[in-house]
């Protein structure tokens, strides 16, 4: 059979190129794989969900609670189809697996990115793959956000309202952009079909393209190697080949991930649509995005409300500054990482994070910055309301925290790493002196 196929498709040529690819044996390299497997589960469950989902805002009678003949209970068809999926055998479970997997994929991609940053795997020659990785992360987040708008419950409705407002706040072209992006004014009938197109076609296609390019580049440039590889065979590739040793490891990892996601889905409901109910004119208080976008809400919380008139009828609002300009700073910094790190190229080995104290400290400060912003997004009053109940003063305290916590984290990390390095050096010196003393005082055997 193998020979039959090979004579026709020349598959054995692929063997050396792809199937013999050596994979490092180290748990930190599982993070990228977990991200990839989560994407696969998302695509599979997404296809199944699409079979029964109805992408339409059109109002239909809610068959689960029809109301009366005089006053039928009308809900959007998309919302109704989400209720119908919930009522199917394993339907609710399927929705939960899909939603949990989206969270796990974004979380795994962020932790994977942290591993790449802290071990210097973004340095020459892997800068391009770092940039492609950031694009993959951005498109993962966009795909996730468009996904939780689809069931068109009251939460989704209010989310679209907020996002519509943000897009419309772009000076000069905002209203036109929002209309183009959401197929008309809010809340228009075209919104769900348009977002469905983004969620199941446009964004996944871009995501698959970026992840595909990411994988091909990783195969071409080869993984960095864990530190132990240096001791085993210096500057040689150490690892297990994809065929056959790495494949069962990957299958096990994928099964483990699927099992964990199913446990989460079975016991922890995620975004139950009936909880929020169909779209309503009663706004949800304190609407919050999923955890990975809370930092953008934090940015909105710290920007004082303002309106600046620009030439040619443009308007600069706090909404635009907080939700678009401000977030461009951390995202821009992430893109700049390979250009800002001036240490020498890294062809072979994953570096020890503590050997690069400044890079480590910058990374910790950045994480602290995003964490404080996320906390501010989650509950601005948690940090400040009891100190100063007035909104402007709350902004001031948030501003101080958003900048002071990262600065303190930076210097604290530097102090800790340098302190540990000094202790280690002292220890080494002591050991060397002890060895010398011992060598001199030990009796000669000749
Ligand atoms: C969002 C979807 C992503 C997927 C599916 C993905 C997948 C992977 C996989 C499977 C690997 C090989 C195993 C490993 O090193 O962990 C890898 C390596 C790599 N990834 Fe990602 N990744 C994603 C996002 C990112 C992000 C956000 C970044 C950084 C900004 C990034 C940068 C890299 C780099 C530089 C490598 C080579 C690492 C090395 O040689 O040690 N990736 N990725």
Digit-coded pLDDT (tens) for 16-55: 778 888 899 899 999 999 999 999 999 999 999 999 999 9
Residue nearest to ligand 1 atom 41, measured at CA: 224
Q: What is the DSSP code (8-state) at residue 166?
A: H
**Averaged pLDDT, 366-374:** 96
436 or 373, higher pLDDT: 373
Report the candidate in 341, 392, 435, 408 with the shortest Cα–Cα distance to residue 117: 341
Q: What is the C-alpha to C-alpha distance for residues 29 and 350, in angstroms, rounded to an integer?
A: 10
370 lines ligand 1 (CB under 6 A): no
Q: What is the C-alpha to C-alpha distance for residues 178 and 332, in angstroms, rounded to an integer?
A: 24
**In the predicted structure, residue 446 carries a pLDDT above the cut 60:** no
Report the candidate in 370, 408, 378 with the shortest Cα–Cα distance to residue 110: 370
For the chain, the first-to-last Cα distance in angstroms comes to 71
Pocket test for ligand 1, best of 24, 132, 133 (most atoms within 8 A of CB): 133
337 lines ligand 1 (CB under 6 A): no
Q: What is the C-alpha to C-alpha distance for residues 387 and 393, in angstroms, rounded to an integer?
A: 9
Angle at 241 between CA 238 and CA 244, to 5 degrees: 150
Pocket test for ligand 1, best of 18, 23, 31, 32 (most atoms within 8 A of CB): 32
DSSP 3-state of 11: coil
For the chain, which domains are there?
A: 13-275+285-296+309-336 (1.20.810.10), 352-440 (no CATH)
Q: What is the DSSP code (8-state) at residue 284?
A: P
* Complete DSSP assignment for 196-232: HHIIIIIHHHHHHHHHHHHHHHHHHH---B-THHHHH
Q: Ligand 1 atom closest to Cα of 222?
A: 40
**In the predicted structure, residue 387 carries a pLDDT above the cut 50:** no
113 lines ligand 1 (CB under 6 A): yes
* Tens digits of residue pLDDT in 264-295: 999 998 888 888 899 987 777 767 889 999 99
* Tens digits of residue pLDDT in 184-208: 999 889 999 999 999 999 999 999 9
């Amino acid at each position: 059979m193998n020979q039959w196929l090979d004579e026709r498709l020349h598959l054995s040529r692929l063997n050396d190129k792809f199937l013999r690819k050596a994979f490092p044996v180290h748990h930190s390299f599982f993070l990228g794989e977990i991200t990839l497997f989560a994407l696969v589960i998302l695509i599979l469950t997404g296809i199944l969900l699409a079979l029964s989902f109805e992408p339409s805002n059109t109002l239909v009678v809610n068959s689960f609670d029809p109301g009366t003949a005089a006053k039928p209970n009308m809900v959007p068809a998309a919302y109704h189809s989400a209720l119908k999926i919930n009522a199917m055998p394993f339907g609710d479970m399927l929705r939960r697996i899909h939603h949990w997997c989206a969270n796990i994929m974004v979380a795994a991609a962020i932790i994977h990115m942290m591993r790449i940053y802290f071990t210097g795997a973004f340095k020459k020659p892997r800068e391009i793959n770092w940039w492609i990785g950031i694009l993959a992360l951005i498109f993962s987040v966009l795909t996730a956000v468009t996904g939780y708008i689809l069931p068109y419950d009251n939460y989704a409705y209010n989310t679209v309202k907020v996002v519509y407002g943000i897009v419309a706040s772009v000076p000069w072209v905002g209203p036109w952009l929002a209309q183009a992006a959401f197929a008309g004014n809010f809340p228009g009938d075209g919104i769900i079909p348009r977002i469905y197109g983004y969620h199941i076609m446009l964004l996944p296609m871009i995501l698959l393209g970026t992840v595909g390019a990411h994988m091909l580049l990783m195969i071409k440039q080869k993984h960095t190697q864990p530190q132990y590889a240096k001791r085993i065979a210096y500057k040689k590739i150490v690892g297990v080949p994809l065929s056959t040793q790495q494949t069962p490891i990957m299958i096990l990892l994928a099964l483990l991930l699927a099992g964990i996601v199913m446990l989460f889905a079975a016991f922890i409901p995620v975004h139950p649509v009936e909880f929020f109910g169909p779209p309503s004119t009663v706004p949800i208080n304190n609407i919050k995005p999923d955890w990975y976008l809370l930092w953008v809400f934090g940015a909105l919380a710290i920007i004082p409300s303002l309106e600046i008139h620009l030439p040619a009828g443009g308007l600069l609002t706090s909404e635009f500054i907080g939700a678009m300009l401000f977030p461009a700073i951390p995202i821009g910094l992430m893109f700049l990482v390979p250009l800002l790190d001036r240490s020498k190229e890294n062809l072979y080995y994953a570096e020890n994070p503590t050997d690069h104290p400044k890079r480590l400290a910058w990374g910790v400060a950045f994480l602290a910055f995003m964490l404080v912003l996320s906390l501010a997004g989650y509950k601005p009053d948690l940090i400040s309301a009891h100190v100063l109940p007035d909104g402007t003063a709350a902004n001031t305290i948030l501003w101080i925290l958003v900048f002071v916590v990262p600065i303190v984290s930076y210097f604290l990390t530097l102090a800790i790493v340098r302190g540990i390095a000094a202790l280690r050096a002292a220890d080494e010196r002591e050991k060397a002196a002890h060895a010398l003393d011992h060598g001199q005082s030990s009796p000669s055997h000749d």
